[in-house]
Chain A
Amino acid sequence: MTDGTRPRGAERRLRAPRINPVWILLAVLIAAIIYMNTGFVEPTGYMNFLKRAAPLAILAAGQVYVITSGGFDLSVGSLITLVVVGSSMLTNNDPAATLWVIPLMLGLGLVVGFVNGLVVCFLRVPSLIATLGMMITLNGLAFLWSGGAPRGYLPDTYRFFGRELIRDVPLVGFIPVSVIVMAVVIGAYGWLMHRANLGRQVHAIGDNPVAAHLAGVPVARVRITAFVLSGLSGAVAGILLGGFAGVSTDVGAGYELQAITAAVLGGAQLLGGRGSVPAAFGGALALTAIFTLLNFLGLPQPVRQVVQGLILIAAVALAMHRRRQTGT
């Protein structure tokens, strides 16, 4: 469904010529939140907000690689669950275990992404199905490993990243550690996407894999890298969520669709060729802001779902409309 009329110049897009509507949406939402609850301008208000958005923002940054390269990654939600359950099994309240469990979990994310990439590239299974299968498998593994319920507590050293604050920071008072993690990940992913060769290649294979292949882009390697980056983001998000909220059995449920939604709100084009890490970050913040706002409004859950659905369709319809009007 990629239309061949679009100019191929990936460089043009990298310059981000005009303001992305997601930032306007975000500004409006934040203004509404402040109107509803002036406490939001206090550090506790906006830092809590950022802390809450961190796992989703990180996931969206990873997801945007896969989407831009033309695929989907539905496995990140289950990966989060597996990371939290697995960490609780392995650390079992031993503060020293954090040292090796966290690298191990990052490795797990890497492996999951790698396997996703291999299945898509070499078994030629469409990513929707490949990562759907991975989602079911990982969920089963998490249960199988723990026998149905996590067996250990997460030590405070592990929970440091998701739960602790760095106090006495000038200007803002305090910064949650997870916000720092988020800034680092978004920075690194953004640099890779928009300043490094990888980003150009990811855009190229998403735009037209055959042409990219002919132009000498190592399609399989780039695609696998995209899945690995997404898997890694899932592991980081899992570590933050486990830290924030402790052990439970279904931590990650639903995050895969939220991550895709966030990336799409940020203007990423499904089936490839277009996507930006900062905009996906904006999308994640906007989505979190929508949830926060609906919470403040005291709307019941059903209304939240309806609003979420409408915004999702409207955002994409609008983006398609703009794209056709501007002819890009």
Chain B
Amino acid sequence: MKRLLATTGALALSALPLSAQNFDDPEEFARQQEQLQAEPEGPEGQPWLQHIGGEMVETADLGIEAPATVCFSNAGVNNPWRVVGFTNMNQELANHDSIGEFIHVDAEGSDDKQIADIDDLLAGGECDVMIVSPNTTAALTPAVERACEAMPVIVFDRGVNTDCPVTFVHPVGGYGFGIQGAEFIAENVEEGSDVLMLRILPGVDVLETRYSAGRRILEEAGMNIVGAEFTDGDNAQTKSIVEDYLQRGNIDAVWMDAGATAVAAIEAFEDSGYDIPVFVGEDQQDFLRKWQDEGMTAIAPTYPTYQWRTAIIAAARVIEGEPLPGPEWVLPQPAITQENLAEYVNPAMPPLHYAMCGCDEMENYPEAWGGN
């Protein structure tokens, strides 16, 4: 037992990533920084139809007849972000007569199951177009390649390591998210201030890039990063971690890689009797409301759920033979700031609703999203 302890200890302490992917890619960082500033093309006020740069692909030669069956292999609806997105998607369907049937299979967060799901859809032979929201990039690549051989494929949210899909719909990306929050902190506190970084999990590509970009900017601005902690996305743990930090020292700003637990972190300051510092959250209603009620200094970068609408729009264009942005469809990724906060706060919406859904003009809003 002792030897086991010693070995595991040694293993753990020498924790060197064996073959780390590059989540701190200066080129990609610069590209996303530029995209945040770029003027998107497309109809104003409808960001889900806009795109930043890139080319168009023709789809007239794909030869699909309307109404067609669209199949959707979903990684899961296991968090509120995906729930809002999936509602957007279902509501968007009503706008497209060219989509006859919509078949949805849910992999419940498992790569293995999603591969089986895609194979099932292919074997079923009913699909004309397939939409895939991959659970992870690398694992789903072969399955998507097989799907590409049989029909046009549209990928969104996470990508795949192949360019066979007609288009890959996604917002600017993780670096962009990290940049927006960290730049706000750099502008609103003095150099050398104490910043706490809260993260959900290690290893998730979209979250790692947010962190590396945030850290880069905070360090460049000369901030003192007092810690970077994993919260598991758990409210109670987040609150405990922040309480512990407050017991030991000062915090001038909190940067978060995702806003789901932002309100719990704010409450840790309130309950311990401290002023709320500068905060980076996300576009969830509970955070926006708290921000407005308490008059905080805050920003909410977003990873917009309207991309789920765009995936359906892309499928409809494929069926109708219309050109669409591709092979990458980069959507704008706006942040909610003090100036436009009031537009997004809506007390009628549930606390975990993501405000940047581009859904408030849709027919069944707000009931379909759980609002009253």
- Residues on A close to B: CB < 8 A? 37, 39, 44-45, 48, 52, 55, 88, 146-153, 163, 165, 241, 244-251, 253, 292, 295-296, 298, 300-303, 306, 310, 314, 317
Contacts and interface: CB of A to CB of B under 8 A. Distances in A.
Given A149-B353, A248-B260, A39 B235 contact: no
B74 to A, nearest CB: 12
A151 B263 contact: no
Nearest to A305: B12
A307 to B, nearest CB: 9
A165 B261 CA distance: 22
Nearest to B4: A310
B351 A150 contact: yes
B31 to A, nearest CB: 31
A295 B286 contact: no
Interface in B227-278: 227, 230, 233-236, 238-241, 243-244, 247-248, 260-261, 263-264, 267, 271-272
B352 interface: yes
A285 B236 CA distance: 16
A149 B83 contact: yes
A137 to B, nearest CB: 15
B258 to A, nearest CB: 12
B79 A241 contact: no
Nearest to A295: B244
Given A153-B351, A244-B236, A306-B12, A249 B79 contact: yes
Interface of B: 1, 4-5, 8-9, 12-13, 15, 77, 79-80, 82-84, 86, 202, 227, 230, 233-236, 238-241, 243-244, 247-248, 260-261, 263-264, 267, 271-272, 286, 350-353, 370
Contact of A39 (B77, B227, B236, B247): B247
Nearest to B12: A303
Nearest to B353: A149
A246 B264 contact: yes
B80 A251 contact: no
Nearest to A244: B236
Nearest to B13: A303
Given A148-B80, A150-B352, A301-B202, A250 B234 contact: yes
Given A39-B248, A149-B350, A301-B230, A248 B235 contact: yes
A216 B256 CA distance: 60
Contact of B243 (A48, A55, A298, A300): A48
24 contacts: A39-B248, A44-B272, A48-B247, A88-B351, A147-B83, A147-B370, A148-B77, A149-B84, A149-B350, A151-B350, A244-B236, A245-B264, A246-B264, A246-B267, A247-B352, A248-B260, A250-B234, A251-B234, A251-B236, A295-B241, A295-B244, A300-B12, A301-B230, A302-B12
